[in-house]
Amino acid sequence: MTEAVSFQQEFKVKGGDFSRGGEASCEIKNLLRDLGLDPQLVRRAAIACYEAEMNIIMYAWQGQLDLLVTPHRIRIIAEDKGPGIADIKQAMREGYSTATPEMRELGFGAGMGLANIKKNTDTFRITSKVGRGTRLELTIKTNGRKA
Amino acid sequence: MNKENRHPLHINTKKCVGCVHCMTSCPTKAIRIRDGKARIIGEFCIDCGECLRFCPQDAIDSHTTSFSDLNAFKYKVAIPATVLYGQFDNATLPNEILFALRRVGFDSIYELSTICELNSAATEKFLNSHPRPRPFIASTCPVVVRLIQRRYPTLIDLIVPIEPPREIAAKILRANLPRVLKVKPSDIGIIHITPCPAKMVSINYPVSMEKSYLDGAISIRDIYKPVLQALRQSKDEAIMSRLFPETIFSGLGLGTALSGGETRGLKNRRTVAVSGIQDTIRVLNQVEMGMLRDVDLLECMVCPDGCVGGPLAVENRFMAKSRILRLVSLLGERSVVDDSDTNALYQKNFMSFTHSLKPVKATPLDADPVRAIQKAKHRNRIIKQLPGKDCGACGAPDCRTLADDIIRGLALLTDCPFMMKEKK
Ligand SMILES: Nc1ncnc2c1ncn2[C@@H]1O[C@H](COP(=O)(O)OP(=O)(O)O)[C@@H](O)[C@H]1O
Ligand code: SF4
Ligand code: SF4
Ligand SMILES: [Mg+2]
């Protein structure tokens, strides 16, 4: 019944815009904290958002994070228009990365992003169409909250 | 929020003209203008002193220890921050400054650079025996500790659990002075001389120990003039102090007044040094997102360029920095602390935190999760209604914060002058 109560907000992410990298996930982090969620849970969600946000910035043209919070879970849909991923299995492998030397210079491209997203979420679904874009659907269970 | 006010900074309502300089400079959005005067919300304040820096009216008082407070002690001991050596002209040597402090009224002065070096050596030992996690974060700047407790609770275990040099120094003195001087422990007052108001909080309300070993902190701002006078009056003493240098200074330790100083002593370590409140917030965000895992020690100082940029220092930080760098190069990299001493103290946990740091939970929009969600939605609706000019006329630093205040029952929509117009 309480699941009917939900908070939803979209955060636009622009491809290539490294200077604002992390802003959306930072905003999401603050929001989840305002909702009184457990700090470890907030951190897991923030890490997942951050990795998804940076992937859009690094590899896609434009995209968004769509956050939905209900009393029992956090759902994040990260969707982009971009080159897509031809071999998802390969992309998921820890250490696999197509990041450019410039990106590595900035400290990205360890090839851990997607794996980290999976590690920090309770459900993880990834779909992608080459030449069109990529979509991640993530959820984290919050199970209400201890006051 | 009706707790006693634990913060050293207070708005002087006689001088405050209600301009918005402090409010917009506060990194945690802790200031509001109410009835034409600035007000600090204690729950959000991290004692960084940014507001004090930006106030054009000199209307923010810092409640640090005053000279008259010293009269409570028969025997007065000063532990000046090494920043003090950068405050006077190029010709004034540290020894002369220590002499001048004695003239100002202290019975003895203990020089901190050696203990700064000891602290670095202890940190190195800690890193050696703790290969994981990474990065550890230095605990010297009390504002960083407070910031992490409040905004980055998941990073608390990364803070190096070693007390800062000022506390280690005071602890050594407490253990030895009563015996050496044959004075009652309660008659001895150990006072830090500080470039920042935050030390006052860490002394009065310590978070990593039961009770601070220090009795107070006098600001450099307050002690500057008397010391300058003493320096002028005591030319002969100056000559004496030059001919008979009685104190050993550590170049490595002295450098800790500057950003990067703490990490400089750690020779074989990957370190990152960050200074300034905005860059500190940025790097802590990155650590929280799992970055900097290949870094052994992260040093954050919330003041620009480190403690030389402290809000209660007198000399501008560029001059102070240049003088300290000169002293550091004069003294060289020679270590003055014996490794066996460091070992002995480290093995005894003499320098370790005795209390583990606890996170300080932020007040959620509502204690009830369902209502918190409803309030977050409501807040977004208000944000859409507001003009988005972030003008500060409502008394909040920006429209978003006003919306937050409204939801928390601390402000009204009509506090925004643009909303008033629409209502009419
Ligand atoms: N949104 C995306 N669009 C296109 N390619 C992507 C996207 N996200 C990830 N990839 C591909 O998957 C690889 C692995 O991603 P990730 O695990 O985040 O590691 P990293 O970003 O460090 O390379 C990337 O190098 C990239 O080739
Ligand atoms: S000391 Fe820092 S946190 Fe506190 S009110 Fe001033 S600017 Fe804000
Ligand atoms: S950087 Fe130094 S002077 Fe500034 S608040 Fe921290 S400890 Fe104080
Ligand atoms: Mg990635």
pLDDT 10s digits, B385-422: 999 999 999 999 999 999 999 999 999 999 999 997 65
- Identify the pLDDT of residue A146: 47
* CB-nearest partner of A9 from B367, B372, B380: B380
User: Under an 8 A CB cutoff, do A46 and B289 touch?
Assistant: yes
Task: Using CA coordinates, name the residue in chain B closest to A147.
Answer: B367
Q: Is B324 a residue whose pLDDT tops 90?
A: yes
Task: Answer for the pair A76, A67: CB distance below 8 angstroms, yes or no.
Answer: yes
- Identify the pLDDT of residue B389: 96
Which pLDDT tens digit goes with each residue over B214-266? 999 999 999 999 999 999 987 787 787 778 777 889 999 999 999 999 998 88
Question: How many Å lie between the centroid of ligand 1 and the Cα of residue A85?
Answer: 8
Closest CA to ligand 2's atom 7: B26
User: Under an 8 A CB cutoff, do A36 and B153 touch?
Assistant: no
What are residue A142's phi and psi, to 5 degrees?
Answer: -115, -20
Q: How many CA atoms lie within 13 A of B327 on its CB side?
A: 32
Burial of B256 (0-12, 13-18, 19+ CB in 10 A): buried
- Identify the pLDDT of residue B243: 80
Exposure b/e, B141-180, CB count within 10 A at least 16 = b: bbbbbbbbbbbbbbbbebbbbbbbbbbbbbbbbbeebbee
Whether the CB of A62 is below 8 Å from some CB of chain B: the reply is no
Q: Is the CB of A121 within 6 Å of ligand 1? A: no
Q: Is the CB of A56 within 6 Å of ligand 1? A: yes
Question: Averaged over B49-64, what is the pLDDT?
Answer: 96
Hey, what CATH topology would domain B1-63 get? Alpha-Beta Plaits (3.30.70)
Whether the CB of B294 is below 8 Å from some CB of chain A: the reply is no
Q: Name the pLDDT band for B294 (thresholds 50, 70, 90).
A: very high
User: Under an 8 A CB cutoff, do A71 and B366 touch?
Assistant: no
Instruction: Please identify among residues 96-125 of chain A the ones whose CB lies closer than 8 Å to any CB of chain B.
Output: 107, 116
**What Rg, from alpha-carbon coordinates, does chain B have?**
23
Q: Is B363 a residue whose pLDDT tops 90?
A: yes
Whether the CB of A16 is below 8 Å from some CB of chain B: the reply is no
Which protein residues are within 6 Å of ligand 2, measured from CB?
A: B 9, 26, 28, 30-31, 40, 45-51
Question: How many Å lie between the centroid of ligand 3 and the Cα of residue B209?
Answer: 19
Residue extent(s) of CATH 1.10.15.40 domains in chain B: 365-424
- Cα B315 from Cα B105, distance rounded (Å): 22
Let me know how many helices (H) and strands (E) chain A has, helices first: 5, 5
Residue extent(s) of CATH 3.30.70.20 domains in chain B: 1-63
Please report residues of A whose CB lies closer than 8 A to that of B373.
5-7, 35, 69-71
Which pLDDT tens digit goes with each residue over B112-155? 999 999 999 999 999 999 999 999 999 999 999 999 999 999 99
- Identify the pLDDT of residue B424: 47
> What are the mean pLDDT values of chain A's consecutive 10-residue runs (147 residues total)?
82 94 95 96 97 97 98 97 97 97 90 97 98 98 66
Whether the CB of B285 is below 8 Å from some CB of chain A: the reply is yes
- Cα B179 from Cα B159, distance rounded (Å): 34
Please report residues of A whose CB lies closer than 8 A to that of B364.
33-36
- Identify the pLDDT of residue B109: 95
- Identify the pLDDT of residue B3: 53
Please report residues of B whose CB lies closer than 8 A to that of A31.
376
Q: Is B50 a residue whose pLDDT tops 50?
A: yes
Question: Averaged over B354-358, what is the pLDDT?
Answer: 97
Task: Answer for the pair B299, B232: CB distance below 8 angstroms, yes or no.
Answer: no
- Cα A17 from Cα B187, distance rounded (Å): 61
Q: Name the pLDDT band for B1 (thresholds 50, 70, 90).
A: very low
- Structure tokens that stand for B3 in this block: 């707790």
Which pLDDT tens digit goes with each residue over B96-108? 999 999 999 999 9
Average pLDDT, chain B: 94
Q: Mutate one of B281, B286, B373 to test the A interface: name it (highest A CB count within 10 A).
A: B373
Task: Answer for the pair B119, B164: CB distance below 8 angstroms, yes or no.
Answer: yes
- Identify the pLDDT of residue B422: 59
User: Under an 8 A CB cutoff, do A36 and B369 touch?
Assistant: yes
- Identify the pLDDT of residue B268: 83
Q: Name the pLDDT band for B32 (thresholds 50, 70, 90).
A: very high
Q: Is the CB of A53 within 6 Å of ligand 1? A: no
Q: CA of A130 to nearest chain B CA: how many angstroms apart?
A: 29
Closest CA to B254 of B323, B192, B203, B160: B323
- List chain A domain ranges: 7-141
Please report residues of A whose CB lies closer than 8 A to that of B365.
34-36
Closest CA to A25 of A2, A57, A1: A57
Task: Answer for the pair B44, B410: CB distance below 8 angstroms, yes or no.
Answer: no
Q: Name the pLDDT band for B423 (thresholds 50, 70, 90).
A: low
Q: Is B199 a residue whose pLDDT tops 90?
A: yes
Task: Answer for the pair B115, B169: CB distance below 8 angstroms, yes or no.
Answer: yes
Q: Are strands A133-141 and A73-81 parallel, antiparallel or unpaired?
A: antiparallel
CA geometry: angle B151, B156, B159, nearest 5 deg = 120
The residue type of B398 is: D
Hey, what CATH topology would domain B365-424 get? 3-methyladenine DNA Glycosylase II; Chain A, domain 3 (1.10.15)
Task: Using CA coordinates, name the residue in chain B closest to A33.
Answer: B364
Q: Using CA atoms of B389, B390, B394, B399 in order, give the dihedral in degrees to the nearest 10.
A: 100
Non-local (6+) Cβ contacts of A27 within 8 A are A11
pTM of the model: 0.94
- Per cent of chain B over pLDDT 90 is 90
Architecture of domain A7-141 in this structure: 2-Layer Sandwich (3.30)
* CB-nearest partner of B359 from A31, A39, A70: A39
